[in-house]
Structure 1
């Protein structure tokens, strides 16, 4: 699976659409997905809006529980990587990040709010 680094500075405003949720590896046993180091993997749905165009929603996986993130809040995504996948005739793009952190309200106000 090829990984593609994503330049988040070109994505515009990133806003949490669905707060962090633990990722389930097996729906029958409710086993939580773990990374290589044994940390639980969480997903965060994030809206992406570039240049006042329509909004897209992407789900981003991150190791460990992101703290302080609430729905509707502007977030910073660090180390975002896209992965192109194909399995059993299906295909798509998944996203993983090193970290997802809330942007303090004061920082948003200094930049003039969101677009």
Structure 2
């Protein structure tokens, strides 16, 4: 699987679309997906609007439960990586981040670049 680092500065304002949800490795048994270190993996839907274009929603996986995230809140995503995958006749792109945290400061309050 090829991994591609993503420059989040080019994605515009990132907003949490929903509260973090635990990912399941088996939806029938409700077995929680774990990372290599045994931490539960969570999924966070984040809206992006690169260069003022149409808003898109991407699902980002992160190890451990992200704290303090609420729908509509501006967030900071660090270590974002895209993974190109293919399974049979299906293919797509998945996203993973080191952390997703609430953003603080002017952007979180909807203001411009005031310091």
Scaled by the length of structure 1, what TM-score is found?
A: 0.92
Deviation at 1:111, TM superposition (A): 5.3
Question: In structure 1, what is the equivalent of residue 86 of structure 2?
Answer: 86
Specify every segment of 5 or more residues in structure 1 that has no aligned partner in the other structure, as ranges: none
- Alignment deviations for residues 18-42 of structure 1 (CA, whole Å, 9 cap, x no partner): 1100001101100000000000000
Number of aligned positions between the proteins: 112
Specify every segment of 5 or more residues in structure 2 that has no aligned partner in the other structure, as ranges: none
User: Per residue, is there more strand in 1 or in 2?
Assistant: 1
Scaled by the length of structure 2, what TM-score is found?
A: 0.92
Given that 2:3 and 2:84 are in contact with CA atoms closer than 8 Å, whether structure 1 keeps it comes out as yes
Matches within 5 A, 1:1-115: 1-104=1-104, 106-108=105-107, 109=109, 112=112
Given that 2:46 and 2:57 are in contact with CA atoms closer than 8 Å, whether structure 1 keeps it comes out as yes
> Could you say what the CA RMSD is over the residues aligned between the two structures, in angstroms?
1.5
Given that 2:10 and 2:51 are in contact with CA atoms closer than 8 Å, whether structure 1 keeps it comes out as no
